[in-house]
Amino acid sequence: MASPSRRADPRAKLTPERILDVAQGLLRGEGTDGLSMRRLAAALGVAPMTVYGYFPDKDSLIDAIIDTETTELDLRIVPGAWQEQLRDLLILLYDQLVANPFVVQLRQRRPVVSPGAMRFTEAGLQLLQHAGLTVEAAAAAFRTLFIYTFGYAAFASPPDEAAARRHALAACLTLPVDEYPAVTSAAQALTAVLTGRDQFLRGLDLILHGIKAEPQKSPPRKRPPS
């Protein structure tokens, strides 16, 4: 009831905030296809061209939406081991991306480096540096975790997971056993890891494992002999 979104209002004053709010509503409701400048204008009760008085084009509108979305992520980090904290941080991102798939699509156009997005990088880097990784190793490790999470949201999170599993299983069982011995014998396992939060966590732990096992984890000796 205290929701900041007020899509119910028939014709409140037009502001950038209200435009973004309604645009996000369209995206949340119907995905990327649901957002057109014309539909947005209609939802605002305004002529198609009016929105252009607030955002020069659709691209800059989308940039503003992404900025809003990255700023909304709540990055409270609870005390604990750094592995757990890093894990929780990426789970936070994953859950937001899965709940708002349009963010995944929109962020694909280019790397987002706005202040709001950088809060996340800051949190991740701090954890890895406190864990004893060098600046370079921390940056590389964080990037890998980050890309994996976006990749999972983009490529392993279909709208209907059960249907995707069913479809995949049927396809695997159609393959000739002699040409595809591993796939056909592992059809169940493959289907199980195709999608879903559990498999996301499993891959995440695999990567965290790799980070812990990395050589350059502790900083070099206090004073290099130079």
Partner DNA sequence: ACCTGAACACCGTTCAAGT
Which residues are at the interface with a copy of itself (CB under 8 A)?
A: 105, 107-108, 110-111, 113-115, 118-119, 121-122, 125-126, 129, 135-136, 138-144, 147-152, 154-156, 158, 164, 167-168, 171-172, 175, 179-183, 185-186, 189-190, 192-195, 199, 202-203, 205-214
Q: Is 37 in the site for DNA (CB under 7 A)?
A: yes
Task: State the minimum distance, in angstroms, from the CB of residue 177 to a copy of itself.
Answer: 11
Q: Is 135 exposed, middle or buried (0-12, 13-18, 19+ CB in 10 A)?
A: exposed
How near is the Cβ of 21 to DNA at its closest, in Å? 15
Tokens at residue 119, please? 């809060």
Contacts (CB under 7 A) with DNA, residues 71-100: none
Q: Which of 7, 18, 28, 39 binds DNA (CB under 7 A)?
A: 39
Q: Which is nearer to DNA, 48 or 181 (CB)?
A: 48
Which one of 54-62, 88-96, 117-125, 217-225 is the stretch in contact with DNA (CB under 7 A)? 54-62
Residue 177 contact partner, candidates DNA, a copy of itself, none, CB within 5 to 8 A by sort of partner: none
* Closest distance of CB 96 from a copy of itself, Å: 15
User: Which residue, 92 or 208, is less far from a copy of itself as judged by CB?
Assistant: 208
Cβ proximity to DNA, 23 vs 123, nearer residue: 23
Judged by beta carbon, residue 80 or residue 210, the one nearer a copy of itself is 210
Q: At what angle do helices 58-72 and 115-130 cross, to 10 degrees?
A: 40
Q: Which residues lie near DNA (CB under 7 A)?
A: 14, 35-39, 46-50, 52-54, 57-59
